[in-house]
DNA sequence: CTTTTTGCAAACAATTTGCAAAAAA
DNA sequence: TTTTTTGCAAATTGTTTGCAAAAAG
C-alpha cells in the first residue's frame, strides 16, 4: 500500500467513523492508520507498538478498544473464531463447521464444493496444503427465532 | 452415536494408544470415552464435568493434557486457529487465509471455488449464512526449506 | 522396581474492566 | 460544560507448569 493510497483510505475511514458518531481522537486515528498500513494480520500488541511511535502515551487497552470498535462496525475483521475456549472435535471425517454468530453453537457439515487438488495447485506458491477448514458463520435457526 | 458403536470406537482408540506406547490410565480412558460420546464440540471444561461423573477425582489439567495428547496424535482435532492472540485484518475484500502450521504466518488469497449461494442453500436448515472463512493450513515455503 | 502420570496449587498470558482525570464536541 | 474517552492498575479467564505422591507396566 503506497502512502497516497493509504492516506486516501485513512480519510475515508475517518469520514465513516464521524458519520457513525465516533469521536476522532488522535489515538483512534493512529490506530486505524496502523491497521490500514499493516500488510499482514497484526495482533493488538504489534499495533500498539506501531502506534506508540507516533502517540507515545497511548495505552494497550485503548488499542484493543479501538480495534474491537472497528470490528464491531464491520470495518475490519479478525482471523479465526472468536470463541474464548478451545473446542475439541472427535469427528475424524473431513467436514466443516457452521457457527452461530449469536450463541456460538457449532454444527458439522460436509460439502463437495471444495476441490482440494485445485486449491492446492493455486496455493503452491505459498506452500503445501495439509488441511482445509471452512467455517460458515450466520444466525442459527434457533437464534433467528428470538428477537434481535 | 449408540452405545455399542461408542464402545467399539473406545476400544479402537485404546488399541491405537497402546500401540503408540501411551499408558491407559482410567482418567485417559474416561476422557477419550467422553470426547467420543460428545455430539458437539466440547471445551475442556465440559469434558471435565462429564468425566468427573465417572472419575470424581480427575483434575482439569489432566483433561487438558489428555485432550492435547489425542490432538497431537491426530485422533481428534480442534475448532478454529490455535493462535494465542487475536489477529486483526484490514483487508475488506472477500478473501481467505493460508496459515503455516509451523510459523503461524497467515497470507490472504482469493478463490472462485466457493459458491456462496449454493452453500447457503445447503445450510438453510441450520440458519442464515453471513460470512465464509476458509483457512488452509500447511507448511509454508520458507518453513519447508528448513529442516523438519 | 522404574518410569510415567496424576492432582494440587501456583504461574501465565492475553484480554477486559472500574474509575478518576483529561479531552472532545 | 456535558459526555465520551483515556490511561492506569487491578481483575478475569482460559490454559499451563513444577513438583511430590501415586499408579502403570
Cα–Cα distances (Å) from B146 to A26, A125, B5, B103, B143, in that order, read 43, 16, 43, 11, 5
Q: Is the CB of A110 under 7 A from strand C?
A: no
Contact A86 B101 (CB under 8 A): no
How far apart are alpha carbons A43 and A45 in whole angstroms?
5
Across the interface, do A90 and B76 touch by the CB < 8 Å criterion?
yes
Rounded Cα gap, residues B80 and A84, in angstroms: 11
Per-residue model confidence (pLDDT) at position B101 = 84
Cell of A64: 484493543
pLDDT tens digit string along B79-96? Answer: 988 788 999 999 989 999
Q: Give the contacts of B132 (CB within 8 A, at least 6 positions apart).
A: A134, A135, A136, A137, B94, B96, B114, B116, B119
Whether A96 contacts A134, CB under 8 Å = yes
Q: Which of A70-79, B46-55, B99-108 has the lowest mean pLDDT?
A: B99-108
The answer to whether the Cβ–Cβ distance between A143 and B127 falls below 8 Å is yes
Tens digit of each residue's pLDDT (9 = 90 or more) over A96-128: 999 988 888 899 999 999 999 999 999 999 999
Q: Are strands A106-109 and A131-138 parallel, antiparallel or unpaired?
A: unpaired
Does residue A147 have a pLDDT over 60?
A: no
Sign of CA dihedral B37, B43, B49, B51: positive
The per-residue pLDDT for B148 is: 52
Per-residue confidence (pLDDT) for residue A39, from 0 to 100: 84
Nucleic acid strand D within 7 Å of A23 CB: yes
Percent of chain A at pLDDT > 70 equals 98
Nearest nucleotide to the CA of B56, by C1', is: C7
The answer on pLDDT for B146 being more than 80 is no
SS3 B140: strand
And the C-alpha cell for A35? Answer: 491497521
d(CA A57, nearest CA chain B) in Å: 22
pTM: 0.90
Mean pLDDT throughout A48-70?
Answer: 96
- Residues paired with residue B98 on neighbouring β-strands, in sequence order: B107, B136
**What's the pLDDT score for residue A80?**
82
Confirm whether any atom of chain D, the nucleic acid strand, is less than 7 Å from CB of B78: no
Mean pLDDT, rounded, for A129-143 = 91
Mean pLDDT of A8-24: 94
In B38-126, alpha helices (H): 44-52, 60-72, 116-122
Q: In the complex, which nucleotide's C1' lies nearest to the CA atom of residue A60? A: D7
Amino acid at each position: 500500500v503506497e502512502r497516497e493510497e493509504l492516506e486516501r483510505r485513512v480519510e475515508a475511514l475517518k469520514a465513516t467513523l464521524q458519520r457513525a458518531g465516533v469521536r476522532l481522537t488522535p489515538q483512534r486515528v493512529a490506530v486505524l492508520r496502523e491497521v490500514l498500513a499493516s500488510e499482514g494480520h497484526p495482533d493488538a500488541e504489534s499495533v500498539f507498538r506501531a502506534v506508540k511511535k507516533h502517540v507515545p502515551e497511548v495505552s494497550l487497552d485503548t488499542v484493543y478498544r479501538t480495534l474491537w470498535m472497528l470490528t464491531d462496525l464491520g470495518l475490519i475483521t479478525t482471523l479465526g473464531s472468536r470463541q474464548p475456549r478451545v473446542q475439541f472435535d472427535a469427528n475424524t471425517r473431513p467436514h466443516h463447521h457452521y457457527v452461530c454468530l449469536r450463541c456460538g453453537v457449532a454444527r458439522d457439515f460436509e460439502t463437495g464444493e471444495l476441490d482440494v487438488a485445485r486449491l492446492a495447485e493455486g496455493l503452491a506458491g505459498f506452500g503445501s496444503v495439509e488441511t482445509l477448514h471452512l467455517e460458515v458463520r450466520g444466525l442459527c435457526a434457533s437464534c433467528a427465532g428470538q428477537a434481535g
